[in-house]
Amino acid sequence: MTLRPHRIAIAPSGFKESLSAARVAEAIATGVRRVIPDADLDLIPLVDGGEGTAEALALAGGGRLVPVTATGPVGDPVASHFALLGGGTTPGPLTAVVEMAAVAGLALVPPDRRHPGATTTYGVGELIRAALDAGARRILVGCGDSGTSDGGAGALQALGARLTDRHGRELRPGGGALHELEHIDPSGLDPRLADAELLVACNPYNVLCGKRGVARVFGPQKGATPAEVELLSAGLERLAAVLTRDLAPAFGATALDLRTAPGTGASGGLGAGLASVGARLLPRYDVLLDGLDLDARLARADFVITAEGALDHQTVRGKIPAEVARRAQAAGVPVLVLAGTIGPGAQDVRAVGVDAYSAILPAPMTLVEAIGRSGEFLADASERAMRIMALGTRLAPVAPLAA
């Protein structure tokens, strides 16, 4: 039982701490070809600013990865990188892609040290400085998959700012100390920032403070207890006030509300910290999908398969499957989502253009086993989905009931 050849677009995100978007796409393609060997497959691995972003943009743009040893989220040195795009005969300034997840991501925080009050974005600032050292004057910071909630305070310290308490002492790393912040001295900031174009690709749904502030929404996922969530929230409120008073005026960034502007909560508030030194916060897909011709590729397909690690109420708030579905729906193309897990609110994705969704796990198992076999499970789930579609094409239309 096989389907006629189809044009199928496979446009997934990566699976956190497991598979890159490219490997997810390849696994899905494997399952599809078991049922439709001659399918016309268009693999479009997508990134959202998190894990794999620098590598994906380097591959797409003919760039290269530059290895860097930097300070990881728990303070230990980690092997990291940024990407360099352009230069040479390519018109325009040399561009660097700094992927915050590569130096401050949750995957770099050991499970027994997942305390967002203590983790730092210091390494992000080190990567920005390394990119400036390499000659980049346009720096794109990808936000996503963070293991931090320090509002970008660590990154600002690495870039030369001094964040001090009421006694003039430098704040210790992490968002748990931000409620003690009294003053920010910008005099030591890297002067090259003034001449560089700093762009932040972020989820515009994420804001720094308020009821939907980043500490309340994502703090528990990073290991914060309810009491720690409130401490982090208070600290980010304090940081926003001091950034607005002491730092933003020096960079002409006073027009932006650092508490609630779209994207200020990106990566545990890194968006707000970088915005205070003149960075522009941009909707991530407007930046990251540029050059992929995604809308046209989806429109050419008969069917679209996308995927992510967890499908739940957060998916519609700017995750890749929702973005793919929104664009495919505009072209009238049906969409299937494959997910590692399905959580509360997953049904909301139907409103943004998802026609069907399915979990890939065949049976209950440990997280470690699920991560280790995710490629296998994706291929099998794709095969099952295609066989169900093949069965559907053989069903005769059902006659209407007699009146």
Q: What is the pLDDT of residue 4?
A: 56
Residue at 375: amino acid letter: G
User: Do the domain assignments include residue 399?
Assistant: no
State the CATH number of the domain containing residue 82.
Answer: 3.90.1510.10
Please give the structure tokens belonging to residue 355. Answer: 């026609």
Please give the structure tokens belonging to residue 39. Answer: 């399918």
Last residue of a domain, one of 232, 253, 287: 287
* Domain that includes residue 157, residue range: 53-287
Q: What is the pLDDT of residue 398?
A: 52
Last residue of a domain, one of 252, 287, 322: 287
Q: Please tell me the chain's helix, strand, coil percentages from 3-state DSSP, rounded to the nearest 5.
A: 40, 20, 40
User: Do the domain assignments include residue 178?
Assistant: yes
The count of domains in the chain is 2
User: Do the domain assignments include residue 257?
Assistant: yes
* Rounded Cα gap, residues 163 and 381, in angstroms: 50
User: Do the domain assignments include residue 1?
Assistant: no
Residue at 315: amino acid letter: T
Please give the structure tokens belonging to residue 21. Answer: 């978007």
**DSSP secondary structure code for residue 263 in this structure:** T
Residue 38 and residue 179 in one domain: no
Residue 31 and residue 97 in one domain: no
Q: What is the pLDDT of residue 403?
A: 47
Q: What is the pLDDT of residue 389?
A: 86
State the CATH number of the domain containing residue 31.
Answer: 3.40.50.10350
Q: What is the pLDDT of residue 60?
A: 77
Q: What is the pLDDT of residue 364?
A: 85
Nearest to 291 by CA among 62, 109, 116: 62
User: Do the domain assignments include residue 23?
Assistant: yes
Q: Determine the distance from the C-alpha atom of residue 126 to the mean position of all C-alpha atoms in its chain, rounded to a whole number.
A: 20
User: Do the domain assignments include residue 12?
Assistant: yes
Q: Tell me the three state secondary structure of residue 280.
A: strand
| Beta strand pairing call for 64-71 and 40-43 | unpaired
Per-residue pLDDT of the chain (403 residues), as tens digits, is 455 558 999 999 988 778 888 899 999 999 999 999 999 999 999 998 998 899 888 887 789 999 999 999 999 999 999 999 976 555 567 999 999 999 999 999 998 998 889 999 999 999 999 999 999 999 999 998 999 999 999 999 999 999 999 999 999 999 999 999 999 999 999 999 999 999 999 999 999 999 999 999 988 988 889 999 999 999 999 999 999 999 999 888 888 999 999 999 999 999 999 999 999 999 999 888 877 889 999 999 999 999 999 999 989 988 999 999 999 999 999 999 999 999 999 999 999 999 999 999 988 888 888 888 999 999 999 999 999 988 877 655 555 555 4
What are the angstrom distances between the C-alpha of 119 and each of 46, 151, 153, 169, 334? 27, 11, 11, 19, 41
